[in-house]
Amino acid sequence: MNVLFDDRQDAFIVTDNLKEKIIECIETALKVENKMIDNIEVSVSFVTNEEIKSINSEFRNIDRETDVLSFPMEFEFSEEGMPFILGDIIISTEKSIEQAQEFGHSIEREILYLVCHSVFHLLGYDHIDESEKIIMRNKEKETMKLMEVFKNEKEF
């Protein structure tokens, strides 16, 4: 698996430890889905509220900040040996900090949840209607549990 990181913000220091946990989170979500891991490529970008608002406005016609955006690239897994570009994950660290404080857990825990959530969007899941939301949330919960990352986790 190849995860490309792009840090375009200064609200939070993205440590090597967090990057390793993000890679583990992506791998775990893919295992929950029984998807291959070796040839998958994902990009994870950390941006400001201003940048994510601009991207949200441009691509979704929603003129406000959001915590995470997911942009799937390919929907069919490639032939063996060929790289498979799953897509792009864009996270607002400012929004992540706000939500971590609101929910009473660490920023790292919040970012891991957002990565998990986004991976399932990249895999085609959504939460527009209640039945889809339940399926997606159960997959997120299973992934976080397998990683032993729990709600209200203050330490990372």
Residue 69 belongs to a domain: yes
What CATH number should be reported for the domain holding residue 103? 3.40.390.30
If we measure between CA atoms, which residue out of 65, 62, 112, 61 comes closest to residue 89? 112
Rounded to an integer, what distance in angstroms lies between the CA atom of residue 92 and that of residue 31?
Answer: 26
List CB contacts of 76: < 8 A, sequence separation 6 or more.
none
pLDDT tens per residue across span 87-143: 999 999 999 999 999 999 999 999 999 999 999 999 999 998 999 999 999 999 999
Rounded to an integer, what distance in angstroms lies between the CA atom of residue 22 and that of residue 16?
Answer: 10
What is the tally of structural domains in the chain?
1
Domain enclosing residue 109, as ranges: 2-146
Record the pTM. Answer: 0.91
Tell me the residue type at 21: K
Residue 154 belongs to a domain: no
